[in-house]
Chains A and B, each alone.
Chain A
């Protein structure tokens, strides 16, 4: 299921803030159509790693490669321009705005001759996208705050899908959701995989990690403990890797 080319490759990434080492010697290759789960206790360095991949932090040392070519992101916008999208834990949606304006936030479509907003097209494309992904909302014109938690999560993921050409980072995508909504979001994540995107997911739910991922990467106190094929490991092994207790 994994192809030869690695979409994202991280080689010997180090990150320290002053004297504090947040990430040491982290290496990982991500392939198109693959879901890799990043697990670890609080403070293990998962968020730091996500911020490095999304361009918010620059690694102290180490190399990032996209499709085999080395890249350096100056900020989050430059990572986005290269096809990397993040679904933040807090979703980063503007609650009082309609779905379609959120979908195109910061990248609104305009039409000639005056460069005014092309709301018709943004609405149509948003509707198309949520229909394709089977995110069930009343309409692309609905206001975010009128939607349920699962619907909002669906919108945030759909937005990332629309703009990501290579990689989506998901930070705790179902932390705030109930059982049924979690199942819906997990289905949605499966459909992204079918679109040949590489997916890096942070999750505290090991059940979810085992349901979704192809590989599991464990972090503990900034150190990469190991990477396992999900099919060839079990929860006991992962838990002991996370906690360091055999």
Chain B
């Protein structure tokens, strides 16, 4: 019963990495890309705008990972949701399109969740399969064609619009992070998600309905991916099967670097926000450095590798 065992309270290596890493990369780009416009308000705003869908997906993934599950299918959900909204809006009012986009995301998430929670299948394999399944469906939905989104209110709400001169994508990001953070840290549901990922047995004998938590977190993931799909469609004013295709690694990296444990029981929504901003900044900076796409991929991969290695080190102590 020695009191010395606990380290300095509040000092958590994993939680620190994201702040230090974020600052380090920011300062590095600020110095090296000073003449290339990295520090301009326009460029920094752009980073936030481009990152919005990734941040929303990352919030969903924080819930899934914290409950000890994973979702690999959210990229495909993004495409199916965006295409559903776009197709519906060709003939129907905007709110039907929004409902279709979000509804499809939630439904696919719930489908994943039901398979995981009640058929007791591992989420890694279920969502690996549904990733392929819905990527295929996204391709066949419109025969690989891109569907334009010409509804002005829609593109304003989910894309280029502003409210009190704040870009709507910034509002979505702030709303998503605030709501996600409150649910994650300050509700019984959030506590039950963490307990389920930490120790399913402890959760279960404490009366927590563990399967239901698993269903809910994967449904949340699907819903977040659906919203991300709307944000892509709004910003690009079109929906295509390629939307979300390349986000899988970015989102997982953002969440892990942001201090969420891969094996459950621990995480941070704020960290995930910083993680996705870090990824966005990296993208932006490497493009401004005039690196070839292949070199960008190599550098980004290496930086993610280093960041993930540092942020996961503490788990294996």
Point out residues on A near B: beta carbons under 8 Å. 76-77, 80, 86, 88, 90-97, 101-102, 105-108, 110, 115-117, 119, 136-138, 141-143, 146-148, 150-151, 181, 184
Contact = CB atoms under 8 A, between A and B. Distances in A.
A90 B199 CA distance: 11
Nearest to B263: A96
Interface in B1-51: 1-3, 5-7, 9
Interface residues of B, number: 29
Contacts of A94: 194-195, 198-199, 202-203, 265
B7 to A, nearest CB: 7
Interface in B144-177: none
A133 to B, nearest CB: 13
Interface string B43-78: 000000000000000000000000000000000000
B260 to A, nearest CB: 12
A95 B265 contact: yes
B202 A96 contact: no
A91 B195 CA distance: 14
A137 B270 CA distance: 30
A90 B202 CA distance: 9
Nearest to A119: B186
B177 to A, nearest CB: 17
B187 A117 contact: yes
Given A88-B205, A92-B205, A146 B6 contact: yes
A179 B317 CA distance: 27
User: How would you classify the secondary structure of chain B's contact residues: helix, strand, loop or mixed?
Assistant: helix
B188 interface: yes
B212 interface: no
Residue among B1, B185, B186 with the most chain A CB within 10 A? B1
A25 B191 CA distance: 42
Given A96-B266, A97-B194, A184 B202 contact: no
Given A143-B6, A147-B5, 16 more contacts: A80-B207, A92-B199, A93-B199, A93-B202, A94-B203, A95-B198, A97-B191, A106-B192, A106-B203, A106-B206, A115-B187, A115-B188, A117-B186, A148-B1, A151-B1, A184-B1
Nearest to A86: B205
A148 B5 contact: yes
A96 B206 contact: no
A115 B195 CA distance: 19
13 contacts: A86-B205, A97-B198, A105-B191, A105-B203, A106-B206, A107-B206, A116-B182, A116-B186, A117-B185, A137-B1, A138-B3, A143-B6, A148-B2
A32 B314 CA distance: 46
A141 B12 CA distance: 14
Interface string B194-214: 110011011101111000000
Given A92-B202, A97-B194, A105-B203, A150 B1 contact: yes
A119 B188 CA distance: 11
Contacts of A143: 6
Interface string B203-227: 1011110000000000000000000
B120 to A, nearest CB: 19
A147 B1 CA distance: 8
